[in-house]
Amino acid sequence: MFERRRRGAILLLSSALVFTACSVDTEPAGDNPAAPEAPRGALPVSVVADIDSLIDSLPTGTPDLDALVRLGSADDPRLAWLFSDLLRFVPPDVPLGAAAVDAWIANTGIVVEADRDVWGTTTNHLLVWDTPAPPGYREWKGRIFELVEPGWAPFFADEDADIDWRWLSWGGVRIDDRPLHLTQLGCPEGCIPALNDPAVVQANTDDDWLADDRLVFGVEVNGEAVAFPKNMMEVHEMINMTIGGRRVGIPYCTLCGSAQAYLTDLGTETYELRTSGLLSRSNKVMYEFHTRSVFDTFTGVALSGPLQDAGVVLEQVSVVTTTWGDWKADHPESFVLASDGGYGRSYLADPLRGRDDNGPIFPIGAVDPRLDVQAPIVGVVTDDGTPVAFAVAAAKAAFDRGEGVDNAGVMLQASGGGFIAFAADGAELPTHQAFWFAWSQFHPETELWLG
């Protein structure tokens, strides 16, 4: 694996593809002008040849700028997706980046300011417009992205994947594909390292180290409760461990404000969830380590690979966003992750240093205007597939007044300082908290309760 990565790094250096910063200053989706009209049908043979020539030239260190200039005169907004993809890795102040900006402007008719985050702005325009991708886009995009991370190749190779390739972007980190026996050694190549089987300590004992006001994500399986401190989840973004006799994968999307819990022991199979380093409209893209199958992080549906072919949908269990003090008051026998994770690590109290405090830092496209983009909601999907969401602030206010909270046959209940939900027949429904923009992207027909 080291040699594979070394070759990938050499390709990057020789092609002038540049790792840009993880966070971006995206132009608000509401500022978008009218969408340019996109043609339908196949691309001209000359356009296909120029795209191939451009991408083939990237690893050589001498990009085919003449081909890129010709693509700029194609008068086809669909090609703008490829130019934006290049701009994710190449700044606009180098020749390749400047030519990509010019080609984007020429094909869309929209001028973008070079002193802003050009990639974020151009991508947000395309997302809001819902501009179609050009035929062959998956393969071309894959060839660009694999110059940065060869480990993404299995994702792009799946022709039948249920992935909207337009939405897929780079989150600024590598894929976490470390061998299982190395998972506790960190990730020197720059991935977000999943934490497997962390040590835990019990509440209300001498080992209980966490301050009562610290934020945690509480999970209970078969009567066993575990709390995951938010600051530790911001470092790992994925936990694989056993709770209540079941194997559980717990992804945390920092960008979405969303921790979820999936049962990963299905029949004779046990799945290992990892972070890919990719995003889908600012939502983390997780994958299964053994099969290289991509999952929709919000729904647990396998989108590619052997697990998509098998129709795998992971079962969710509720995650309560709360404080350690409130959680252990309701779950006095709860466990919490050990302060060092069990592997001698140390964790900052605020690893992200407020990175996500001022709105989404990656392109998200159009947003449902019923709530602010980062308003926290508690979301649930009913047995008949109806997505239901409750605005957290309104629900807390209602409970403080002694009122009930229900919507579309779902009853919300205060629990452990957060919320759980029940169907009309009393059966608990898996819930989790998230930012509204993220929930509404993946559940656009949500029944929203605002109080």
Q: Are residues 128 and 212 in the same domain?
A: no
Is residue 344 domain-resident?
Answer: no
Is residue 157 domain-resident?
Answer: no
Which of 125, 148, 171 delimits the end of a domain?
A: 148
Q: Are residues 286 and 384 in the same domain?
A: no
Q: What residues form DSSP beta bridges with 261?
A: 317
**What's the CA gap between 150 and 7, in Å, rounded?**
9
**What's the CA gap between 131 and 70, in Å, rounded?**
21
Looking at residue 190, its amino acid is: G
Of the candidates 81, 78, 79, 62, the residue with the CA atom closest to the CA atom of residue 70? 79
Is residue 324 domain-resident?
Answer: yes
Q: Are residues 188 and 113 in the same domain?
A: no
Q: Which domain holds residue 254?
A: 180-337
Of the candidates 438, 440, 155, 162, the residue with the CA atom closest to the CA atom of residue 301? 162
Determine the 3-state secondary structure of 129 from DSSP.
Answer: helix
Q: Are residues 27 and 76 in the same domain?
A: yes
Classify the C-alpha dihedral 149-309-446-330 as positive or negative. Answer: negative
User: What pLDDT shows up at residue 348?
Assistant: 92
Low-confidence ranges of the chain (pLDDT < 50): 1-30
Q: Are residues 284 and 421 in the same domain?
A: no
Write the burial class of residue 290 (CB in 10 Å: 0-12 exposed, 13-18 middle, 19+ buried).
middle
User: What pLDDT shows up at residue 29?
Assistant: 47
The residues, any chain, with a CB within 8 Å of residue 115's CB and separated by 6 or more, are none
Determine the 3-state secondary structure of 347 from DSSP.
Answer: coil
Determine the 3-state secondary structure of 325 from DSSP.
Answer: helix
Is the Cβ–Cβ distance between 17 and 111 less than 8 Å?
no
Is residue 44 domain-resident?
Answer: yes
Tokens 């940065």 locate to 148
Number of H helices, E strands in the chain: 13, 25
User: What tokens were used for 88?
Assistant: 């994710």
Write the burial class of residue 359 (CB in 10 Å: 0-12 exposed, 13-18 middle, 19+ buried).
middle
Query: What single DSSP character describes residue 186?
Result: -
| Sheet bearing 224-229, strands edge to edge | 200-202, 335-337, 224-229, 215-221, 319-323
Which of 316, 337, 358 delimits the end of a domain?
A: 337
Determine the 3-state secondary structure of 317 from DSSP.
Answer: strand
User: What tokens were used for 262?
Assistant: 């999936």
Is residue 358 domain-resident?
Answer: no
Residue 49, CB-side half-sphere exposure with 13 Å CA sphere: 5
Terminus-to-terminus CA distance in the chain, angstroms?
53
Q: Are residues 209 and 120 in the same domain?
A: no
Q: Are residues 273 and 213 in the same domain?
A: yes
The packing angle between helices 95-108 and 118-129, to 10°, is 30
Is residue 420 domain-resident?
Answer: yes
User: What pLDDT shows up at residue 189?
Assistant: 77
Query: What single DSSP character describes residue 182?
Result: G
Determine the 3-state secondary structure of 436 from DSSP.
Answer: helix
Q: Are residues 69 and 216 in the same domain?
A: no
Q: Are residues 136 and 228 in the same domain?
A: no
Q: Are residues 221 and 320 in the same domain?
A: yes
**What's the CA gap between 20 and 200, in Å, rounded?**
37
User: What tokens were used for 335?
Assistant: 């466990």
Is residue 156 domain-resident?
Answer: no
Calculate the alpha carbon distances from 66 to 57, 61, 95 in Å: 11, 14, 11
Q: Are residues 312 and 245 in the same domain?
A: yes
User: For the whole model, what pTM was predicted?
Assistant: 0.91
Q: Are residues 239 and 136 in the same domain?
A: no
Q: What share of the chain is helix, strand, coil (3-state, %, to 5)?
A: 30, 25, 45
Ordered DSSP codes for 58-113 = GGGTS--HHHHHHHHTS--GGGHHHHHHHHHHS-TTSHHHHHHHHHHHHHH-----
Determine the 3-state secondary structure of 447 from DSSP.
Answer: strand
Is residue 171 domain-resident?
Answer: no
How many other CB atoms are there within 10 angstroms of residue 31's CB atom? 10
User: What tokens were used for 329?
Assistant: 């008051």
How many other CB atoms are there within 10 angstroms of residue 144's CB atom? 21
Which of 314, 337, 360 delimits the end of a domain?
A: 337
User: What pLDDT shows up at residue 21?
Assistant: 38
How many other CB atoms are there within 10 angstroms of residue 448's CB atom? 20
User: What pLDDT shows up at residue 19?
Assistant: 43
Overall number of domains in the chain = 3
